Amino acid sequence: MRVGVTVFPGSNCERDALFAIERAGALPVELWHADGDLRSVDAVVVPGGFSYGDYLRPGAIARFSKVMTTLEDFAKDGGPILGICNGFQVLTEACLLPGALLRNVGMRFLCCSVTLRVETIKTPWTSLFEPSDRLVLPVAHNEGNYFADPWTLDELEAEGRVVLRYLDNPNGSSNDIAGICNAERNVVGIMPHPERFSDLTLGSVEGLKVFESVLSFVGTRV
């Protein structure tokens, strides 16, 4: 199984994601932003970092890169996509996910561990969790404050499209939202970093399940 990781200029968690994917048992594949080729991957991670320096707005420039056009087709075909942190921001800018990520209410960059609740297991990236599972994952962001208009929030809630929710909201996100999915449920964006908790040497493997989930999902789909 092949899982791709997009690399934009300024991405900085791509190697961490590639490492976690390998640990989960898949073949990690680097997808350079200027290539329009997804190299026959089965799933794609859009990693964290500061694509294009977060200049203008996080994700606002990366969404115009060549790889994103290909990724839009991949999403339409039901391909599983996970945006982590800056990746989530890119996916909202690309309108693959609704809403936007504003600056943290504390107006500071925040790097710490947060406790989350898994709100739905009906996505490729959470399929191996149990509903309402609690997990602790690191966050590291300046703009993680999820915002959407009330109608969109109602829709997300009604359709069970909130994927992860903070138990102790660190950034002011609406409805304590830490992650959401699209209506088709194949595109997921989350602010926490599961790739950072995918190795016991670092104290936790709670995040590894996210990558194992997609492998299991793709495995059963084939």
Partner 1 sequence: MSIQEVYSSLGLSDLEYDRILELMGRVPNYLELVMFSVMWSEHCGYKNSRPLLKRFPNKGARILQGPGENAGVIEVGKGWALVFKMESHNHPSAVEPYEGAATGVGGIIRDVLAMGARPIALLDSLRFGPLEEERNLYLFREVVRGIGGYGNAIGVPTVGGEVEFAAAYSGNPLVNAMCIGLVRAEDFLQACAVGEGNLVVLFGAKTGRDGIHGATFASDELTDESEKKRPNVQVGDPFAGKMLVECSLDLLKKNLLVSLQDLGAAGITSSASEMAAKGGVGIEIDIGKVPLREMGMKPWEIVISESQERMLAIVKPTDAEEVLRVVERFELGAAVIGRVTGHGDLRILHEGEVSGSVPARYLADAPVYEREVVAPEYLEEVQKRLDLEKVSRPQDYNAVLLRMLAHPNLCSRRSIFEQYDHQVGTNTVILPGADAAVIRIKGTALGFAVTTDCRGRHCYLDPRGGGVASVAEAYRNLSCVGAEPVAVTDCLNFGSPEKAGPYYQLAACIEGMAEACEALGTPVVSGNVSLYNETEEETVYPTPTVGMVGVFEDVGCRATPSIKRGGDEILLIGNFRPVLGGSEYLEIVHGSVTGTPLRTDLAAEKEVYDAVRRAISAGVVDTAHDLSGGGLAVALAEMALPGGIGVEARLLPEGRQDVALFGEVGGCVLLAVPEEKLGELKMLLEEVHYTRIGYTGGNRLKLSRLVDLELSELGKAYERDLFERHAPEGGYLG
Q: Name the site residues for partner 1 (rule: CB under 8 A).
A: 9-10, 12-13, 15-16, 19-20, 34, 48-50, 52-55, 108-112, 138, 140, 142, 193, 195-196, 198-199, 201-203
In angstroms, what is the minimal distance from the CB of 177 to partner 1?
A: 21
User: How is the beta sheet containing 43-46 ordered, strand by strand?
Assistant: 27-32, 2-7, 43-46, 81-84, 187-190, 177-181, 162-166, 110-118, 134-141
Does the annotation mark 141 as catalytic?
no
Q: Which H or E element spans position 45?
A: strand 43-46
Q: Which of 14, 85, 141, 143 is catalytic?
A: 85
Nearest by Cα to 74 from 107, 36, 105: 36
Active-site choice (14, 93, 143, 195) = 195
- Structural tokens at position 203: 């104290």
For residue 179, what are its two tokens? 């992650």
In the bound state with partner 1, the residue whose beta carbon lies nearer, of 9 and 172, is 9
Cβ proximity to partner 1, 29 vs 121, nearer residue: 29
Shortest distance, CB of residue 192 to partner 1, whole angstroms? 11
Closer residue to partner 1 (CB): 74 or 197: 197
Using the minimum distance from each CB to partner 1, give the nearer residue, 79 or 83. 83
Of the candidates 114, 173, 122, the residue with the CA atom closest to the CA atom of residue 148: 173
Catalytic: 193? yes
CB of 205 to partner 1, least distance (A): 12
Q: How far is the CA of 4 from the CAs of 75, 170, 186, 219, in angstroms?
A: 13, 30, 15, 16
72 is known as an active-site residue: no
- From the candidates 14, 143, 193, 212, give the one annotated as an active-site residue: 193
Distance separating alpha carbons of residues 29 and 148, to the nearest angstrom? 33
Catalytic residues: 85, 193, 195
